[in-house]
């Protein structure tokens, strides 16, 4: 066992740190103001494009993709400290072309797409020219149980015809969004885990309507979280990814890495919140003493440091497992970090808000925004309770000495 980062990870981290310090943090205020002053929340301020160019120039581009040809070729373990740094700022991931849901979509296309699909959609995504959405969650059912997904995809000639509704399709309001990966039912007669398929649906396909964008707490995010209606949306069968009935399998393959990425970035948010907490506690006085001298605030600081350390180690070990034995064999750990890390980050952000008083719930600091979005991680992509259930099931089996089932 050994806890040192690789030289490669250190080099990337140093360069990314420099980029953030020199270019990204200084642009945060401008970004927030540009969004606030725009006529619509769904804007893409030009400064983001400048930062993207700069990131690419510095070799800080597509760091998430383990494939060395299309991405940086970093292992999960080496990518983790970089994702953490990106998670410190609301624009960090986007400027390095490492933001969800594009990362997951690129991985799906890279892993499961055919050559034509890659040429048409993967390349412009890798180049940061377009953005994308992933439409899985539906408003009328509990999506934590993936077999609940109901959107119908019926074969008609060479096409699929889609009818149904999706929501929380993140990214769909982004001015550059062009393509969706949509999960729906194609194989009604198949076993329950083989009924669903994944389909590429261009955003401008007739019959596809964006009904609205959903707010997160009061935030209307630039990239948006769309509620979509599919009314006889017609797409060629060639748009199928990997084959009929592969939807559940692809979802599994896609969501694992996505969960890890979320957790890595959550650590960055937690670190930044702790940094802000300490600075504010040093800067403010009550009853004649800096707040940072109070032992209850010191307890918060210590607990934050302890919990961040534990959470980071758990994320790193999970990344290492994915690198060495594969995501399928790291399912318990992936579920574990998905449950543990957002809760830890939320507690720290909440305490940082408390130390900031009114400033903490406003937009003068990124804390309220962080809190609102971190809160969604406890329910997006399966609520905590579903992940705990699966961890407990395996623990009970292991304790009983039972063999693991194949699926």
Among residue numbers 292 through 351, which ones bind a copy of itself (CB under 8 A)? Answer: 292, 294-299, 301-303, 305-307, 309-311, 313-314, 316-317, 320-321, 332-333, 336, 339-340
User: CB under 8 A: which stretch of 66-74, 125-133, 149-157, 385-393 binds a copy of itself?
Assistant: 385-393
Q: Considering only residues 148, 231, 326, 329, which one is a binding residue for a copy of itself as defined by CB under 8 A? A: 148
User: CB under 8 A: which stretch of 97-105, 124-132, 200-208, 355-363 binds a copy of itself?
Assistant: 355-363
Q: 253 in the Ramachandran plot: left (φ > 0), alpha (ψ -120 to 50) or beta? A: alpha
H/E segment holding residue 324: helix 295-325
Does residue 371 belong to the site contacting a copy of itself (CB under 8 A)? Answer: yes
Question: In this structure, what DSSP letter does residue 345 have?
Answer: H
Closer by beta carbon to a copy of itself, 9 or else 125: 9
Minimum Å gap between C-beta 1 and a copy of itself is 6
User: CB under 8 A: which stretch of 203-211, 231-239, 247-255, 365-373 binds a copy of itself?
Assistant: 365-373
Minimum Å gap between C-beta 145 and a copy of itself is 5
Rounded CA separation 60/397 (Å): 43
Question: Which parts of 179-218 interact with a copy of itself (CB under 8 A)?
Answer: 214-218
* C-alpha distance from residue 218 to each of 325, 358, 360, 362, 382 (Å): 41, 16, 15, 11, 22
* C-alpha distance from residue 130 to each of 133, 177, 187 (Å): 11, 6, 31
Minimum Å gap between C-beta 242 and a copy of itself is 26
Closer by beta carbon to a copy of itself, 6 or else 114: 6
Q: Considering only residues 111, 144, 209, 252, which one is a binding residue for a copy of itself as defined by CB under 8 A? A: 144
Question: Which parts of 221-250 interact with a copy of itself (CB under 8 A)?
Answer: 225
Minimum Å gap between C-beta 363 and a copy of itself is 5
Both tokens of residue 282? 């040093």
Does residue 4 belong to the site contacting a copy of itself (CB under 8 A)? Answer: yes
Q: Considering only residues 141, 190, 211, 231, which one is a binding residue for a copy of itself as defined by CB under 8 A? A: 141
CA atoms within 13 A on the CB side of 375: 13
Question: Which parts of 54-93 interact with a copy of itself (CB under 8 A)?
Answer: 77
Closer by beta carbon to a copy of itself, 179 or else 355: 355
Q: Are the CB atoms for 69 and 126 separated by under 8 Å? A: no
Minimum Å gap between C-beta 121 and a copy of itself is 26
User: CB under 8 A: which stretch of 104-112, 185-193, 256-264, 357-365 binds a copy of itself?
Assistant: 357-365
* C-alpha distance from residue 370 to each of 46, 87, 99, 127, 348 (Å): 23, 10, 15, 28, 11
Both tokens of residue 277? 């907490």
Question: Dihedral angle at the C-alpha atoms of 253, 123, 197, 93, nearest 10 degrees?
Answer: 50
Q: Considering only residues 358, 401, 403, 406, which one is a binding residue for a copy of itself as defined by CB under 8 A? A: 358
Q: Considering only residues 23, 178, 234, 378, which one is a binding residue for a copy of itself as defined by CB under 8 A? A: 378
Rounded CA separation 26/30 (Å): 8
Of 307, 315, 302, 314, residue with least CA distance to 345? 307
Query: With b meaning 16 or more CB within 10 Å and e meaning fewer, what string describes 237-252?
Result: bebbbbebbbbbbbbe
Both tokens of residue 92? 């960090």
């Amino acid at each position: 066992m050994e806890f040192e980062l690789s030289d490669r990870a250190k080099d990337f981290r140093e360069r990314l740190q420099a980029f953030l310090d020199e270019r990204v943090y200084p642009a945060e205020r401008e970004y927030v103001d540009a969004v606030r002053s725009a006529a619509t929340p769904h804007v893409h301020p030009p400064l983001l494009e400048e930062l993207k160019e700069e990131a690419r120039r510095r070799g800080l581009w597509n760091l998430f993709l383990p494939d060395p040809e299309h991405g940086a070729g970093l292992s999960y373990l080496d990518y983790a400290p970089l994702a953490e740094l990106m998670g410190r700022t609301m624009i960090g991931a986007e400027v390095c072309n490492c933001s969800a849901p594009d990362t997951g979509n690129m991985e799906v296309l890279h892993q499961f797409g055919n050559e034509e699909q890659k040429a048409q959609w993967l390349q412009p995504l890798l180049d940061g020219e377009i953005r994308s959405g992933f439409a899985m969650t539906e408003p009328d059912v509990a999506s934590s149980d993936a077999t609940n997904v109901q959107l119908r995809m019926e074969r008609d000639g060479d096409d699929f015809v889609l009818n149904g509704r999706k929501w929380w399709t993140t990214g769909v309001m982004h001015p550059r969004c062009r393509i969706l990966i949509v999960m729906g039912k194609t194989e009604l007669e198949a076993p329950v885990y083989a009924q669903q398929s994944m389909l590429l649906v261009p955003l401008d396909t007739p019959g596809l309507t964006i009904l609205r964008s959903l707010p997160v707490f009061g935030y209307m995010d630039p990239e948006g979280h769309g509620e979509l209606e599919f009314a006889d949306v017609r797409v060629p069968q060639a748009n199928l990814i990997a084959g009929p009935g592969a939807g559940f399998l692809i979802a599994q393959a896609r969501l694992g890495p996505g969960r890890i990425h979320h957790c890595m970035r959550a650590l960055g948010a937690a670190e930044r919140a702790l940094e802000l907490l300490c600075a504010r506690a040093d800067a403010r006085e009550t009853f004649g003493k800096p707040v940072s001298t109070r032992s209850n605030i010191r307890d918060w600081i210590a607990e934050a440091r302890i919990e961040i350390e534990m959470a980071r180690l758990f994320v790193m070990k999970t990344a290492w497992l994915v690198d060495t034995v594969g995501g399928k064999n790291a399912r318990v750990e992936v579920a574990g970090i998905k449950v543990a890390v957002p809760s830890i980050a939320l507690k720290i952000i909440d305490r940082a808000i408390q130390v900031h008083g009114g400033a903490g719930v406003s937009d003068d600091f990124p804390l309220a925004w962080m809190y609102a979005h971190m809160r969604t991680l406890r329910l997006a992509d399966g609520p905590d309770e579903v992940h705990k259930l699966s961890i407990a099931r395996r623990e009970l089996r292991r304790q009983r000495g039972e063999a693991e089932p194949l699926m």
